[in-house]
Structure 1
């Protein structure tokens, strides 16, 4: 039995070894030689550098299922030691995925069935290799809490009051824990992830410079990785990103969460992207905080929770 934890994010898909955009496109013909593509139910799909539009319910169509097939195929090629697959062999996989706190209770069963499908055998091809897999077990965990489980020991958080801020593609999830117990009154998901920040930045840049920036362009400016733009544009992007982070932290104060009274831990790809901005904005506060520089903390948390539930650690 193989186990695969996969984070099906709005902006990116993450596995233990890979991270790629949550975007696919349909090929009208067979893929070119060496082109990364999946063939599923008679159609070819390839990964797109542009993410798909935000879906509050990812089970409404096949996009995230196909993206998961990409993730599974990539991980199968990374098995150590390498695994030889016999013709017609069915690989049984325990799939471990997650949902934001806001959607967990309402979508847990639907999301599980979306992947499980009665344990049926799924046939697909990836880069010329044929696979037959069965998601014989599907385990749906809660994002953010999974990240907490992964980082708590190293940061010595189990006996402390901790605020987890998981900045993802569309959502910003927050969760307050006291001695490892979730305070549900102060746990929620909001639409303040990086996608809403991109929209805010692009609006501000269009108004002043009549210019449309791609998300990758904004990322590069925020990370300080480019100097190809006019200094005024770069300063405006940074200013709008700072406003986004400041407003998010201000929202928490409005929700009754005092950042001075807990250890704040930022996780998720959005937190890594915004780490320099967070460091600057945090000067307004006095609380202890960390930014975890690992975009796969939820994936690793899913794995840790799975192994714990199975009695493995």
Structure 2
């Protein structure tokens, strides 16, 4: 997917193999990474939409709910609105508990001591780090149920890391020369330039140019041209896979709306110093799959 995005804009890319899952423990404490994205929550072993719906009774049609503090929270059906200050949104805590449960289930655990490692947009970390860390540590001992299974978790500490940089931190020795890294999420795009593996604050940016902008462009174009509201799942499948098995006219409209978004991405990268003759470009994150649109 990354190759398509770069190739279709006459640029070059280079891939690292980051598919191997490694578990980290320190003195009996699991170091557990949770990417609290605006579109999806991710751990090493799971990915699910950022959505929470609370009720006073358990849902009827799904077991994919979290029972906590007297409420029942259905997880991952739909998406949330963009909220820049994550610690001001109680849903992020519920989503983090769900992510912990999913990760522990994959490890066949129901109790654990956990050191959370969470991320914030690259340039927002400095302003939001302390409040987000306190938010994540609001309850050091948490008992809850997820998908019918009980979990007892001790959250002993939390480290807040900058997105984009955290994704390539272990590979920094491999970045010889000049490189630009672009992490395209649902709400933001984080960009940084590395010089021989070294980053600097003056060469890092967070731009509100996430894949949700492309989603809305597709939705609005079809609404304008066809006077129809396309189901969100169809647009999401197009952004993920490039082909949703819909009629040709709708496929063409989605491509028409997606192309300007990819052009805008590269215009933004060039505005921040990208020159394909001077540096290599690495694109990561869910938004990079927009390249499947043959832009």
CA displacement at 1:77 relative to structure 2: 1.2
- Indicate the larger mover: 193-202 or 254-263: 254-263
Distance 2:134 2:244 in 1: 44
Correspondence for 2:70: 42
SS of structure 1 residue aligned to 2:124: helix
Q: How does 1:104-115 map to 2 (within 5 A)?
A: 104-115=125-136
Matched, 1:96 2:135: no
How big is the shift at 1:84?
6.4
User: Given the alignment, which residue of 22, 25, 45 partners 1:17?
Assistant: 45
1:275 maps to 291
- Give the deviation of 1:136 after TM superposition: 0.5
How far apart, in 1, do the equivalents of 2:59 and 2:145 lie?
A: 12
Deviations 1:116-147 (A, max 9, x none): 12x63122122333222221010111110012
Aligned to 1:284: none
- Which aligned pairs between 1:46-195 and structure 2 lie closer than 5 A? 46-79=74-107, 82-83=108-109, 85=111, 91-117=112-138, 120-150=140-170, 152=172, 156-157=174-175, 159-195=176-212
Q: Structure 2 CA distance, aligned partners of 1:225 and 1:176?
A: 33
Report the TM-score, using the length of structure 2 for normalisation: 0.84
Distance 2:85 2:250 in 1: 35
Q: Which moved more, 1:187-196 or 1:199-208?
A: 199-208
Distance 1:83 1:252, change over 3 A: closer
Moved over 6 A (4+): none
8 A contact 1:162–1:178 mirrored in 2: yes
Shift of 1:103: 0.8
Q: For residue 57 of structure 2, give the secondary structure of its aligned residue in structure 1.
A: coil
In the alignment, which residue of structure 1 is the partner of 2:16? none
Q: 1:33 to 1:211 in 2, by over 3 A?
A: closer
Among candidates 271, 275, 281, match of residue 254 of structure 1: 271
CA distance in 2, matches of 1:221, 1:32: 30
Identify the match of residue 204 of structure 1 among 206, 215, 221.
221
Q: How many residues align?
A: 266
| CA RMSD, 1 decimal | 2.0
Q: Does 1:26 align with 2:54?
A: yes
Indicate conservation of the 8 Å contact 2:164/2:191, yes or no.
yes
The residue that corresponds to 2:21 in the other structure is none
Query: 1:228 offset after TM fit, Å?
Result: 2.1
Q: TM-score, normalised by structure 1?
A: 0.79
Are 2:258 and 1:241 aligned?
yes
1:152 Cα offset (Å): 4.9
Contact 1:186 1:257 in 2 (8 A): no
Report how far residue 214 of structure 1 moved: 3.1
Deviations 1:58-111 (A, max 9, x none): 1113101000111111111111xx3465xxxxx321111111112111001111
